[in-house]
């Protein structure tokens, strides 16, 4: 079986309903009004060099993790609109340059947050407990320039709920109408418009 067929089988089994709550609609409205993203105007602040990030990593590893974390790769990402991410299969922390050009004071907090993901892959109870104990943020700050352009607008044929998305969806059903996490073709999302 080819990789593409396997992926489609997995998508059929899992309700590809990664659709968040009501905060999506304001983002869509903002994107439709402001097609051009002004974030490039804000990238003027100097961010720490990679050497400085590694020094911060060592400091956090000592203070919070008792030097238990291995040496993780750190790099800046030019494309990310989020504060950061941890890629477990390559043990790499990615720091969003666009986010931190707007919020440079958050870089150490983001680094500590992503370091915690080495131990706790998700934001479960243990992650939240540790974050609270050390004053590490659970969520990044919002900013209009950090919203990605909405390219596709899907809707449910049954209830009419809209789902704005950056990427094209293949097999996704409405999270409101579908029961469980199984794709339901009866409530398959339909593309309303694309840019």
**10-residue averages of pLDDT along the chain (195 residues):** 53 43 41 40 69 96 94 93 92 93 93 95 93 92 75 90 86 86 87 77
Q: Is residue 3 part of a domain?
A: no
Angle at Cα 10 formed by Cα 80 and Cα 86, nearest 5°? 25
Q: Is residue 7 part of a domain?
A: no
pLDDT at 142: 79
pLDDT at 20: 39
Residue of 114, 84, 113, 78 lying closest to 98 (CA atoms): 78
pLDDT at 129: 95
Tell if the pTM clears 0.75, that is, is over it: no
- Domain extent for 153: 16-35+149-194
Q: Specify whether 48 is located in the same domain as 135.
A: yes
Q: Specify whether 133 is located in the same domain as 110.
A: yes
pLDDT at 128: 94
Q: Is residue 1 part of a domain?
A: no
Q: Specify whether 162 is located in the same domain as 82.
A: no
pLDDT at 63: 94
Give the number of domains in the chain: 2
């Amino acid at each position: 079986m080819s990789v593409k067929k396997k992926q489609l089988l997995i998508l059929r089994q899992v309700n590809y309903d990664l659709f968040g709550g009501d905060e999506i609609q304001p983002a869509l409205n903002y994107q439709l009004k402001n097609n051009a993203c002004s974030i490039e105007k804000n990238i003027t602040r100097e961010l720490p060099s990679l050497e400085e990030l590694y020094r911060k990593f060592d400091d956090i590893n000592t203070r919070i993790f008792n030097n238990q974390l291995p040496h993780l790769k750190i790099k800046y990402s030019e494309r990310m609109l989020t504060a950061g991410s941890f890629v477990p299969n390559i043990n790499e922390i990615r720091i969003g340059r666009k986010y931190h050009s707007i919020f440079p004071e958050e870089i150490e907090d983001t680094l500590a947050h992503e370091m915690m993901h080495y131990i706790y892959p998700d934001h479960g109870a243990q992650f939240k407990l540790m974050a609270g104990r050390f004053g590490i943020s659970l969520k990044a700050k919002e900013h209009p320039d950090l919203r990605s352009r909405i390219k596709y607008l899907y809707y449910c044929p049954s209830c009419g709920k809209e789902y704005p998305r950056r990427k094209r969806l293949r097999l996704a059903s409405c999270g409101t109408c579908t029961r469980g996490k199984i794709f339901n073709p009866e409530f398959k999302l339909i593309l309303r418009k694309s840019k």
